[in-house]
Amino acid sequence: MNITQELRQILTIEEMAVIAKVSSRTVHNWLNEAPAKIHPGFETLKTLHAEVSKISEKVHNELLKRVIFQGNISNLALKYQQVLLKGRTSVLQASKQVVDGVDWKIAFFNFVDDFRSTKSSKLIEDAPVIDLPEKEYALISAMVRFLCREQQLSIPEWAKRPWPLSTPWFVSGMEKLREIAQREAPDDFRVNNIFVLDNFMSRA
């Protein structure tokens, strides 16, 4: 099943035409012509929102604006949100993965990438699992506050208050970087007694 077939299982051509304020024929052309030129053989919903943008920036932007930023809860919005968040890692899911033995660097930064690409508050609304170790809980709460300020979104209640560790955590683990981390750590991390370099949240 290719991206066009998968997209049509969630949104009809008529529904996308209404949102984009174009004719059904125009949407039909977008869906039938663009994917083959851009990503032959692309078959996953994981980055569907990005592919929709490439198929038609107008369709994508209208959907994203109405679903994410205006909180539209119509059936159409809910269907698109299902697609947008399918396969995405939330804070809750990332914390469960860490408890199950996944390296926090993998679980937490998968969440970071998915949150930045979707800008969906759905990924941060639920707090981490209660058995997440204290250090990792303090870290993910700092990361969420940082991301919310970056994306100009409201910070969820569970992440608002600081979670200061009793002992400073220099995340790099390298003695020679401690002094630099003390200078560069963003405030969202510093209040939790966590020290990272200023590029900690940067992704290649």
- pLDDT (tens digit per residue) in 53-70: 454 455 555 555 554 444
Q: How far apart are CA 133 and CA 126, in angstroms?
A: 17
pLDDT of residue 82: 62
Q: Give the chain's mean pLDDT.
A: 77
pLDDT of residue 204: 61
Q: How far apart are CA 10 and CA 193, in angstroms?
A: 45
pLDDT of residue 102: 93
pLDDT of residue 15: 66
- pLDDT (tens digit per residue) in 175-203: 999 999 999 999 999 999 999 999 999 97
pLDDT of residue 80: 59
pLDDT of residue 46: 37
Q: Decide which of 113 and 43 is more confident.
A: 113
pLDDT of residue 38: 39
Q: How large a percentage of the chain has pLDDT more than 70?
A: 61
Between helix 104-118 and helix 48-55 the angle, nearest 10°, is 30
pLDDT at residue 28 tops 80:
no
pLDDT of residue 120: 84
pLDDT of residue 71: 45
- pLDDT (tens digit per residue) in 151-165: 889 999 999 999 999
